[in-house]
Amino acid sequence: MSMRFDRHVVIITGASSGIGAATARAFAREQAIVVLADLRPNEALHHQLEGEGTAVLSVTVDVASSADCERLVNQVLERFGRIDVLFNNAGITRRATVEELDEAQWDHVMAVNLKSVFLLSRLVIGPMRRQGGGSIVNTASGWGLVGGDQAAVYCASKGGVVLLTKAMAIDHGPHKIRVNCICPGDTLTPMLSDEARQLGLHGDALAAAASSRPLGRAGRPEEIADAVLFLASGQSSFITGEALVVDGGGLAGSA
Ligand code: NAI
């Protein structure tokens, strides 16, 4: 197996579950130094990676807090001296129309899904520039590209992630910092079950509904991780500002 990330320092937010955890495992398999950042630490994952020989640091952070983001980046720089990859992945969903949302719910989703990308990216760009480059990958969504029902604030936040990605790619390309995002379709994680329950459905309902997609199923977190590693690696050295759809063809028929 190729080791695209040998001793590269990789920060992953939302690393305790779903797509973040699968991505942490994938980076670890390629010899990266892995920083697991999450509101709720996953000690089992930490110990598993460490047991397999990975250098791993777990930091409990609320990505919506600028103080927490500063503490995270300072801790990583003190311990490892550099940051090669930032994967801004932490996210939450709230299935509701604008009529149903209150202001605090709007602010919370926007802060966790969108403001966090600003808060963390601005802190890593200086170190990346000084070390000669780096790669930022953000998790947007298919619903950052097209609208969805009862998902007003989620779509607003993820649409924001797509264009923030492109704007940062323009600003920081000259510093050899590439910025891309992934747009997953329905993926088998706790979020998908939570989302189904918010709609009053059985926890498996959205996963089952993905059978109507061209590839006939929902995605596995490992399949999203593969795309993240591609965008983070030198294999995508001429790609920046891209929103890569990873959804089994779900959006293939959309404009
Ligand atoms: P998940 O719920 O399994 O994992 C999300 C992780 O983010 C959890 O470990 C949670 O503790 C953490 N988190 C939440 N709020 C946080 C905060 N304020 N600070 C730090 N960590 C926080 O969800 P999943 O599915 O792995 O989601 C990852 C990303 O993928 C999210 O940005 C989500 O919007 C996006 N996504 C997921 C899709 C899906 O179908 N599962 C589809 C499209 C996008």
Average pLDDT, integer, range 190-196: 95
Owning domain of residue 173? 9-184+220-242
- Is any ligand 1 atom within 6 A of the Cβ of residue 14? yes
- Verify that 46 and 136 share a domain, yes or no: yes
What are residue 189's phi and psi, to 5 degrees? -135, 170
pLDDT at residue 3 tops 90 = no
Q: What is the mean pLDDT of the chain?
A: 97
- Verify that 124 and 206 share a domain, yes or no: no
Edge-first strand listing for the sheet containing 243-246: 56-60, 33-38, 9-13, 85-88, 134-139, 177-184, 243-246
- Verify that 78 and 170 share a domain, yes or no: yes
Distance CA 152, CA 255 (A): 20
In tens, the pLDDT along 78-123 reads 999 999 999 999 999 999 999 999 999 999 999 999 999 999 999 9
Largest separation between any pair of C-alpha atoms in the chain? 51
Average pLDDT, integer, range 22-39: 98
In a domain, 4, yes or no: no
Distance CA 34, CA 201 (A): 36
- Verify that 15 and 75 share a domain, yes or no: yes
CATH of the domain at 55: 3.40.50.720
Structure token digits, residue 109: 């989703």
In a domain, 1, yes or no: no
Residue of 16, 19, 145, 155 best suited for mutating to test ligand 1, as the one with most atoms within 8 Å of CB = 19
- Verify that 151 and 164 share a domain, yes or no: yes
Q: How many domains does the chain have?
A: 2
Structure token digits, residue 62: 């609320």
Q: Per the residue annotation, which of 154, 210, 221, 229 is the catalytic one?
A: 154
Average pLDDT, integer, range 200-216: 95
* Class of residue 117 by CB neighbours under 10 A (exposed 0-12, middle 13-18, buried 19+): buried
- Verify that 48 and 174 share a domain, yes or no: yes
- Verify that 122 and 198 share a domain, yes or no: no
| Residue 18: predicted pLDDT | 98
In a domain, 200, yes or no: yes
- Verify that 164 and 120 share a domain, yes or no: yes
pLDDT band at 175 (very low <50, low <70, confident <90, very high): very high
- Verify that 75 and 157 share a domain, yes or no: yes
